[in-house]
């Protein structure tokens, strides 16, 4: 056999169809003539790569090649004597990377962004938030086309403008958006009386969204199609960003909640039972004798919940001193000075 197609694509004989395509895409991009102008060696490699893929991606040709060393089941040129020309290659190249004459995509409207403010309690339980916002919505009178339209006579409704250009590789077709209709495929004969030809009108709408448990500050939720509509196109998206409001008692760290627990000095010294606020109510817990100021006490499963996981509550002990101690209180403290 004159050429080893497996070696050209850098694969072995057991290569799957998916891996074969990946190898072809990678090498085709590397040696594509547009990326290697005036490079004859790259052009020849590009032709060999396309030729190899044409054979190995065809079940019958590959079987003949493996058995006889020829994709047609006989000795000779597998492409009928002339080899593959650049039109054949670019036709195949377009099939792999997308049709070169594909329609121009419909324009997309502007994305909108709204902040959703939530409290720590709402994050803990999950909450449904309902709000109003204004956006450009498809005009119902003209169905978003901007009025009475007709097919563009320059592109015949395709939205594409094609021209043939000369390149070092030969004549090639190049597609751009039609300048007459801006890639829309249609032009307005008579503007819509409701939207003035814009295809969209400003409208206030109400939207309800479910904010899941454990969501984090700055996290994004997206409402597809909730943004602004653009004439003869598709609407943008509504981007909802979570803003976690500060809490007076708790500081968040992941799913854990931190809290400063103020205790009188007699409880720190002697220990005792105290009531503690949590994110979903009060609990009673025991403080051990001789607890230090600044010590961290962990209360399991009293943090936030997310996807079945639950954080803890971390209590940092602080000394709670009376602002205006009574005479009796001072006398008791004074008497402690004489105790060794």
pLDDT band at residue 99 using 50, 70 and 90 as cut-offs: very low
Query: Domain map of the chain by residue range?
Result: 5-97, 112-244, 251-336
pLDDT at 74: 53
Which pLDDT score, from 0 to 100, does residue 193 have? 95
Closest CA to 8 of 59, 77, 55: 55
Q: How far is residue 162's CA from residue 154's CA, in Å, rounded to a whole number?
A: 10
pLDDT of residue 80: 40
- Write down the pLDDT at residue 114: 96
Pick the CATH number of 5-97 from 2.40.30.200, 1.10.287.110, 3.40.50.80, 3.40.50.1970: 1.10.287.110
**What local confidence, expressed as pLDDT, does residue 81 receive?**
40
- Residue 103 scores a pLDDT above 60: no
pLDDT at position 112 over 70:
yes
Mean per-residue pLDDT of the chain? 85
pLDDT per residue over 35-84, tens digit each? 777 788 888 888 888 888 888 988 888 888 887 777 776 544 434 444 44
Contacts of 126 (CB under 8 A, 6+ apart): 210, 211, 212, 213
Angle, alpha carbons 195-199-204 (nearest 5°): 70
CB-facing half-sphere around the CA of 248: CA atoms within 13 A: 1
Q: Are strands 256-263 and 251-253 parallel, antiparallel or unpaired?
A: antiparallel
- What pLDDT is stored for residue 92 in this prediction? 47
Q: What is the pLDDT of residues 137-149, one digit of tens each?
A: 999 999 998 999 9
Mean pLDDT in residue range 272-301 = 95
Percent of the chain topping pLDDT 90: 51
Evaluate if residue 98 carries a pLDDT over 50. no
What superfamily in CATH does domain 112-244 come from?
Urease metallochaperone UreE, N-terminal domain (2.60.260.20)
- Report, as an integer, the average pLDDT of 125-129: 96
Q: List the CATH code of the domain at 251-336.
A: 2.60.260.20
What number is the average pLDDT over the span 267-286? 94
- Burial bucket for residue 131 (CB in 10 Å: 0-12, 13-18, 19+): middle
Per-residue pLDDT of 216-234, as tens digits, reads: 999 999 999 999 999 988 9
Q: Do domains 112-244 and 251-336 have the same CATH topology?
A: yes
More confident residue, 294 or 166: 294
Instruction: Give the residue with greater pLDDT, 183 vs 81.
Output: 183
């Amino acid at each position: 056999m004159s050429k080893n197609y497996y070696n050209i694509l850098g694969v072995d004989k057991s290569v799957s169809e998916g891996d074969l395509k990946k190898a072809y895409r990678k090498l085709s991009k590397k040696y594509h003539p547009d990326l290697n102008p005036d490079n004859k060696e790259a052009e020849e490699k590009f032709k060999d790569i396309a030729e190899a893929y044409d054979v190995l991606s065809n079940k019958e040709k590959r079987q003949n090649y493996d058995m006889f060393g020829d994709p047609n089941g006989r000795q000779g040129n597998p492409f009928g004597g002339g080899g593959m020309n650049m039109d054949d290659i670019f036709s195949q190249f377009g099939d792999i990377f997308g049709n070169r004459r594909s329609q121009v995509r419909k324009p997309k409207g502007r994305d909108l962004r709204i902040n959703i403010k939530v409290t720590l309690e709402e994050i803990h339980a999950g909450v449904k938030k309902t709000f109003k916002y204004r956006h450009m919505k498809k005009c119902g009178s003209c169905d978003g086309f901007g009025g009475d339209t007709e097919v563009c006579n320059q592109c015949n409704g395709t939205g594409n403008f094609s021209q043939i250009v000369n390149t070092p590789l030969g004549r090639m077709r190049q597609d751009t958006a039609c300048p007459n209709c801006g890639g829309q495929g249609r032009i307005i004969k008579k503007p819509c009386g409701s939207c003035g030809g814009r295809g969209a009108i400003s409208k206030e709408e109400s939207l309800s969204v479910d904010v899941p448990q454990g969501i984090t500050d700055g996290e994004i939720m997206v409402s597809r199609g909730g943004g602004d509509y653009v004439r003869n196109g598709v609407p943008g998206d509504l981007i909802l960003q979570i803003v976690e409001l500060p809490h007076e008692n708790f500081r968040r760290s992941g799913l854990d909640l931190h809290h400063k627990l103020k205790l009188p000095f007699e409880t720190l010294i002697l220990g005792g039972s105290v009531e503690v606020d949590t994110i979903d109510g009060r609990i009673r817990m025991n403080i051990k004798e001789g607890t230090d100021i600044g010590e961290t006490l962990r209360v399991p499963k009293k943090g936030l919940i997310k996807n079945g996981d639950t954080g803890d509550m971390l209590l940092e002990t602080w000394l709670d001193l009376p602002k205006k101690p009574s005479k009796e209180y001072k006398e008791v403290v004074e008497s402690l000075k004489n105790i060794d």
